[in-house]
Amino acid sequence: MVAADNLQKTSEEAKFDLLAYLKERQKLCEIALERAIAIRYPEKIYEAMRYSLLAGGKRLRPILCLATCEMTGGTIAMALPTACAVEMIHTMSLIHDDLPAMDNDDYRRGKLTNHKVYGEDIAILAGDGLLAYAFEYVAENTKSLPGERVLQVIALLGRATGAAGLVGGQVLDLESEGKKDISLETLNFIHNHKTAALLEASVVSGGILAGCTSEDLQRLSRYSQNIGLAFQIVDDILDITATQEQLGKTAGKDQKAQKVTYPSLWGLEESRHRAQQLIEAAGAELEPFGESALPLRAIAQFITSRNH
């Protein structure tokens, strides 16, 4: 029976066309994000917010949010405002991280960074504007659901963004710069906060909106922590192996900055192996959701196989 089950799963997975799925969902997110922010007076700030929000990107976080909501019995309509919000928060963190006072990056997703185009002052404000709007957008546009679920999502997004999430991870990342004796514990803290926290919030909020049990929310939480860490390991690997053209941003930055990364601690082969292990652990958390977990399982696999 186990063998037959596995055979069936493999054949189902073979039938699932992830690239077509991602392409369709990405388009859906692009349309929703494009509609979310209209240009008003004073135009410059809306243009700056849109410049970075609509600069492409994989839209992985909103796609995960929508996929989780559907997998757990909800609809796309329920989760679309939150999906847009996690992308606004993600974009805010990129704009602020790229500032001269932080990572001082000139390029992002193959385009000039926000402050290079609009100036530092407007870039700081565009980030602030996106962050505030993310919460407003969820509160205002999530319709026909119990208010408590929406409030739970807002609390989760706030936690994933602030000092207990993204912001805390970035602080430790900045403090670790130039140090060669960063421990694995510190490296994990940085990435669990800088990368995994918002991925987790994207996934778990999809489940909250659909009305998941707390046991299922815990599974979703573990799934996303695993893919979050795997995502970062692969990012570190790609910084070494991919070209600038593939990445759309400066390649080899970590090595140049002599930054401690997973490959610098474990080597490339072991890093690849551990990323694969995390993806398998993530997949195992999805067992109870059966066939409806195909997209989330395929996205997890995609994270280790991507080349940019």
Enumerate binding residues for a copy of itself (CB under 8 A). 40, 42, 44-46, 49, 92, 96, 99, 101-102, 119-122, 124-125, 127-137, 139-140, 146-148, 150-152, 154-155, 157-159, 161-168, 170-172, 174-175
Number of H helices, E strands in the chain: 17, 2
Is the Cβ of residue 25 or residue 259 nearer to a copy of itself in the bound state? 259
Is the Cβ of residue 76 or residue 172 nearer to a copy of itself in the bound state? 172
Is the Cβ of residue 74 or residue 168 nearer to a copy of itself in the bound state? 168
Q: Residue 173 to residues 79, 166, 168, 169, 259: CA-CA distances in angstroms?
A: 31, 10, 9, 6, 10
Minimum distance, C-beta of residue 216 to a copy of itself, in the bound complex (Å): 21
- 3-state SS string over 259-296? CCCHHHHHCHHHHHHHHHHHHHHHHHHCHHHHHHHHHH
Is the Cβ of residue 30 or residue 128 nearer to a copy of itself in the bound state? 128
Minimum distance, C-beta of residue 233 to a copy of itself, in the bound complex (Å): 22
Beta 107-108 vs 111-112: how paired, if at all? antiparallel
Q: Residue 258 to residues 19, 184, 185, 190, 268: CA-CA distances in angstroms?
A: 35, 16, 18, 16, 16
Exposed, middle or buried by CB within 10 Å (0-12, 13-18, 19+), for 268? Answer: middle
Is the Cβ of residue 70 or residue 105 nearer to a copy of itself in the bound state? 105
Minimum distance, C-beta of residue 212 to a copy of itself, in the bound complex (Å): 18
Q: Residue type at 302?
A: F
Minimum distance, C-beta of residue 185 to a copy of itself, in the bound complex (Å): 11
Is the Cβ of residue 153 or residue 234 nearer to a copy of itself in the bound state? 153
**Whether the Cβ atoms of residue 74 and residue 153 lie closer than 8 Å to each other:** no
Minimum distance, C-beta of residue 111 to a copy of itself, in the bound complex (Å): 21
Minimum distance, C-beta of residue 51 to a copy of itself, in the bound complex (Å): 13
